[in-house]
Amino acid sequence: MSPQIRRAFAYFFRACRLRCVECGTKPIFTPLLKIRSLRDYFAPLDGCPRCGYAYERETGYFLLAIWAINYGVGSLLGISLYFYLEWNYRLDLPVLLASVVLPVIGFNLFFVRHAKALFLALDHYFDPHLNDDGSNGGGGSGKQNPPPSPAPIVPQTAPVPSEPAALV
Ligand SMILES: [Zn+2]
């Protein structure tokens, strides 16, 4: 097995165990028994206390984890569950919808931590940032050119239509 594939598997299994994707020893989130608020459940810790790996690189870093991984997997689960129930049982529509939507909501609440951890693993595999000194590719952090100034407004004087001569 090549080192890259071995590294990918290591990151994947560390993420499945909600462990730091870099060192694999410390947790990414507050342990369940120590949770005091919703934020403790949903938000990852600032970084790994052992290796210093920063879990959240920037504000909104985990948006893609939520929209793509968590909602994506939840949607696939919901679609699969819908077709399974539709083909095997004759359920009324409200019962069918409740049987699909409620488990998906529960799954997404359970899976949100894993979605973020898997996103961390993916990002660390494709774009590692061991020492976050601002030299991690730096896309988009350069100075931007000022927007071009708008073209000067030249007043246009339309010729005033002459009044037709009054007929006497
Ligand atoms: Zn670590």
Q: Which residue is listed with tokens 């810790």?
A: 45
pLDDT of 59 reads: 87
Q: pLDDT digits over 135-167, tens only?
A: 444 333 333 344 445 555 555 665 555 555 555
Give bridge partners of residue 19 from the DSSP assignment.
27
pLDDT, mean of residues 44-51: 92
Rounded to the nearest whole angstrom, what is the distance from the C-alpha of residue 113 to the centroid of ligand 1? 17
pLDDT of 1 reads: 80
Rounded to the nearest whole angstrom, what is the distance from the C-alpha of residue 27 to the centroid of ligand 1? 8
Q: Which residue is listed with tokens 């399974």?
A: 84
Rounded to the nearest whole angstrom, what is the distance from the C-alpha of residue 45 to the centroid of ligand 1? 11
Q: In angstroms, rounded to a whole number, what is the distance separating the alpha carbons of residues 82 and 132? A: 44
pLDDT of 135 reads: 43
Task: Report in angstroms the alpha-carbon separations of 22 from 13, 42, 129, 153.
Answer: 11, 20, 10, 57
Rounded to the nearest whole angstrom, what is the distance from the C-alpha of residue 28 to the centroid of ligand 1? 9
Nearest to 21 by CA among 105, 121, 122, 94: 121
Rounded to the nearest whole angstrom, what is the distance from the C-alpha of residue 137 to the centroid of ligand 1? 21
Q: pLDDT digits over 75-127, tens only?
A: 999 999 999 999 999 889 999 999 999 999 999 999 999 999 999 999 999 98
pTM of this prediction? 0.72
Q: pLDDT digits over 17-34, tens only?
A: 999 999 999 999 999 999
Rounded to the nearest whole angstrom, what is the distance from the C-alpha of residue 164 to the centroid of ligand 1? 87
Residue 104 · residue 96 · CB < 8 Å: no
Q: In angstroms, rounded to a whole number, what is the distance separating the alpha carbons of residues 54 and 45? A: 9
Rounded to the nearest whole angstrom, what is the distance from the C-alpha of residue 33 to the centroid of ligand 1? 21
